[in-house]
Amino acid sequence: MDGGKSDENVNMTTYDYLKSKPVFSSLVRLIDRAGLKDAVNQQTTFLLPPIMEWMSI
Protein backbone atom coordinates (compact mmCIF):
# COMPACT_ATOMS: atom_id res chain seq x y z
CA MET A 1 0.00 0.00 0.00
CA ASP A 2 2.79 2.43 0.77
CA GLY A 3 4.87 1.25 -2.20
CA GLY A 4 7.87 0.31 -0.07
CA LYS A 5 9.72 -2.95 0.21
CA SER A 6 7.73 -5.46 2.23
CA ASP A 7 9.37 -6.72 5.43
CA GLU A 8 7.25 -8.30 8.14
CA ASN A 9 10.02 -7.81 10.71
CA VAL A 10 10.34 -4.18 11.70
CA ASN A 11 11.72 -2.81 14.95
CA MET A 12 8.73 -0.63 15.81
CA THR A 13 5.13 -0.89 16.86
CA THR A 14 2.30 -0.87 14.34
CA TYR A 15 1.38 2.65 15.41
CA ASP A 16 4.97 3.90 15.07
CA TYR A 17 5.21 2.31 11.61
CA LEU A 18 2.00 4.01 10.47
CA LYS A 19 3.17 7.31 11.95
CA SER A 20 6.49 7.06 10.09
CA LYS A 21 4.71 6.89 6.71
CA PRO A 22 3.10 10.16 5.53
CA VAL A 23 0.57 8.24 3.44
CA PHE A 24 -1.02 7.04 6.72
CA SER A 25 -1.26 10.47 8.38
CA SER A 26 -5.07 10.57 8.26
CA LEU A 27 -5.31 7.08 9.75
CA VAL A 28 -2.91 8.03 12.55
CA ARG A 29 -4.99 11.12 13.28
CA LEU A 30 -8.13 8.94 13.54
CA ILE A 31 -6.34 6.45 15.81
CA ASP A 32 -5.21 9.32 18.06
CA ARG A 33 -8.67 10.91 18.25
CA ALA A 34 -10.33 7.57 19.00
CA GLY A 35 -7.75 6.69 21.66
CA LEU A 36 -6.92 3.42 19.92
CA LYS A 37 -3.12 3.50 20.01
CA ASP A 38 -2.91 0.60 22.49
CA ALA A 39 -5.46 -1.42 20.50
CA VAL A 40 -3.52 -0.90 17.26
CA ASN A 41 -0.33 -2.05 18.98
CA GLN A 42 -1.79 -5.36 20.15
CA GLN A 43 -0.41 -8.55 18.66
CA THR A 44 -3.29 -8.87 16.18
CA THR A 45 -4.72 -5.79 14.49
CA PHE A 46 -7.29 -5.82 11.71
CA LEU A 47 -8.26 -2.59 9.99
CA LEU A 48 -11.25 -2.61 7.66
CA PRO A 49 -11.89 0.44 5.53
CA PRO A 50 -15.45 1.77 5.53
CA ILE A 51 -17.59 0.56 2.66
CA MET A 52 -18.69 3.39 0.43
CA GLU A 53 -22.37 3.62 -0.50
CA TRP A 54 -21.50 3.64 -4.20
CA MET A 55 -19.70 0.32 -4.00
CA SER A 56 -21.82 -2.68 -4.86
CA ILE A 57 -21.13 -5.84 -2.93
What string of DSSP letters covers the chain?
---S---S--SS-HHHHHHHSGGGHHHHHHHHHHT-HHHHTSS-----PPPPTT---
Has residue 33 been placed in a domain? yes
Has residue 3 been placed in a domain? no
The domain total for the chain is: 1
Has residue 56 been placed in a domain? no
The residue that leads in pLDDT, 6 or 12, is 12
In which domain, by residue range, is 31 found? Answer: 13-43
The residue type of 48 is: L
The residue that leads in pLDDT, 16 or 1, is 16
In angstroms, the CA 45 to CA 3 distance is 20
Per-residue model confidence as pLDDT tens digits over 19-39? 999 999 998 999 999 999 999
In angstroms, the CA 31 to CA 53 distance is 23
Has residue 23 been placed in a domain? yes
